[in-house]
Amino acid sequence: MFAHRPAIAEIAPPARGAFPETDIARGAELARIGNCTSCHTAKGGRPFAGGVPIATPFGTLHGTNITPDPVTGIGRWSEPAFARSMRQGVARDGSHLYPAFPYDHFSSLTDADLHGLYAFLMTRRPVHLEPPANRMIPPLGFRPLLAGWKLLFFRPARFTTDPGHDALWNRGKYLGDGIAHCGGCHSPRGVLGNEKTDQPYAGGWVDGWYAPPLDATSPAIRAWTADRLETYLRTGLSTTHAAAAGPMGAVAHNLSQVRGPDVRAIATYYADLMAKAPAARREPPLPDRAAAAVRAHPEGAALYAGACAMCHEPGAPM
């Protein structure tokens, strides 16, 4: 593990015509599933131009400019340079990337999906914008130290199909564990910011928000079925659970724009992981009086589900 990796030569920014529209469309869907805008599009800023402040226990990072601007973005990055950054957390110039960028999850992506993402990003509108400098606690701004972190914690992921499940479940696992990097929020972390790989999906914290477990320890009072979870992921609202808020709100916003069966696949995978939770085995019936109130006052029921249920439903944290 080198403190600095060899640089990959710059290229002339490729023309849009170099990429088939099908590849661009594939990359667009993956970028939405990956929620790329949350870290790479500042509030009120241009898409993918970076600048988003990312607070960590070790200092504040800023999302990078991933538009094809040749000076401040990735316009002169070749596809191999892009793939290396996604799979190994190494920039084109050979410097190590901070693990706030979830390359540990992205390392499982197929060549075809990485090509689609590259095609999509290289055909965005270039934005000449240099994000603010990172403000890390000394000496953590010295990037060669990240080689030591990788030596301790980074193990490239490789997706393999589970023959015990169908194609939809396996697609959901590939997306959820990989590009969607759900474990980045829903898994606990160690003192050095590493995901605890022996406790995947056991719950975590992000930006002061609790990301509940997505495994058999799920505290949900009602079972997360694939139907319920798909609705929640696509709309940000579940009438039997809660409304997406905080970082999850941005995830739901991006997933609402995803066409096809991929959101269903993700819902199928995580619903299965949570299926053995105690709450899932004792699905409580909705009381008749409450059901009647929902039918009589649907607007009020929707407001309650979106603004109140997260704290005031039985089993909620407050």
- What is the tally of structural domains in the chain? 2
Which two structure tokens, joined as six digits, stand for 217? 């320890």
d(CA 74, CA 10): 10
> pLDDT-based confidence at 310, cuts 50/70/90?
low
Same domain, 154 and 215: no
Same domain, 6 and 103: yes
d(CA 81, CA 79): 5
CATH for 101: 1.10.760.10
Mean confidence (pLDDT) of the chain: 92
Same domain, 127 and 45: yes
Residue whose pair of structure tokens reads 């270039």 in the numeric block: 126
Same domain, 208 and 70: no
* Mean pLDDT value of segment 210-228: 94
- The separation between the first and the last C-alpha atoms of the chain, rounded to the nearest angstrom, is 46
Same domain, 83 and 209: no
Check whether 317 has a pLDDT greater than 80: no
Which pairs from 84-91 meet CB under 8 Å and 24+ separation?
Answer: 84/5, 84/8, 86/114, 86/117, 87/114, 87/156, 88/5, 88/156, 89/146, 89/150, 89/154, 90/5
**Boundary (domain end) residue, out of 128, 158, 188:** 158
Same domain, 141 and 182: no
What pLDDT score was predicted for residue 314?
A: 57
Same domain, 179 and 152: no
Same domain, 97 and 169: no
* Mean pLDDT value of segment 226-255: 95
Q: What is the pLDDT of residues 128-184, one digit of tens each?
A: 999 999 999 999 999 999 999 999 999 999 999 999 999 999 999 999 999 999 999
What pLDDT score was predicted for residue 52?
A: 98
Q: Which of 54-68, 80-94, 147-161, 267-281 has the lowest mean pLDDT?
A: 267-281
Same domain, 43 and 137: yes
Give the type of residue at 315.
Answer: G
Same domain, 76 and 181: no
Q: Give the domain range for residue 104.
A: 1-158
d(CA 178, CA 86): 11
* Mean pLDDT value of segment 207-227: 93
**Boundary (domain end) residue, out of 158, 188, 215:** 158
* Mean pLDDT value of segment 220-242: 93
DSSP string, the chain: --SSPPP----PPPPGGGS-HHHHHHHHHHHHHTTTHHHHB-TTS-TT-B--EEEETTEEEE----S--TTTSSTT--HHHHHHHHHH-B-TTSPBPPTTS-HHHHTT--HHHHHHHHHHHTTSPP----PPPPEEPTTTT-GGGHHHHHHHH---------TTS-HHHHHHHHHHHTTT-THHHHS-B-TTS-B-TTSTTS-EEETTEEE---STT---SS---HHHHHHHHHHSB-TTS-B--THHHHHHHHHTT--TTHHHHHHHHHHHHHTTSHHHHS-PPPPHHHHHHHHH-HHHHHHHHHHTHHHHSTT---
Check whether 313 has a pLDDT greater than 50: yes
* Mean pLDDT value of segment 87-115: 98
Same domain, 46 and 133: yes
Q: What is the pLDDT of residues 241-298, one digit of tens each?
A: 889 999 999 999 999 999 999 999 999 999 999 997 665 444 545 555 566 666 767 7
**Boundary (domain end) residue, out of 137, 158, 179:** 158
What pLDDT score was predicted for residue 281?
A: 47
d(CA 236, CA 171): 22
> pLDDT-based confidence at 187, cuts 50/70/90?
very high
Tell which wins on pLDDT, 310 or 119.
119
Residue whose pair of structure tokens reads 């190590």 in the numeric block: 96
What pLDDT score was predicted for residue 15?
A: 94
Give the type of residue at 276.
Answer: K
Give me the phi and psi of 4, to 5 degrees please.
-145, 130
Q: What percent of the chain shows pLDDT beyond 90? A: 83
- The burial class, CB within 10 Å (0-12 / 13-18 / 19+), for 162 is exposed
> pLDDT-based confidence at 304, cuts 50/70/90?
confident
* Mean pLDDT value of segment 221-232: 94
Same domain, 7 and 129: yes
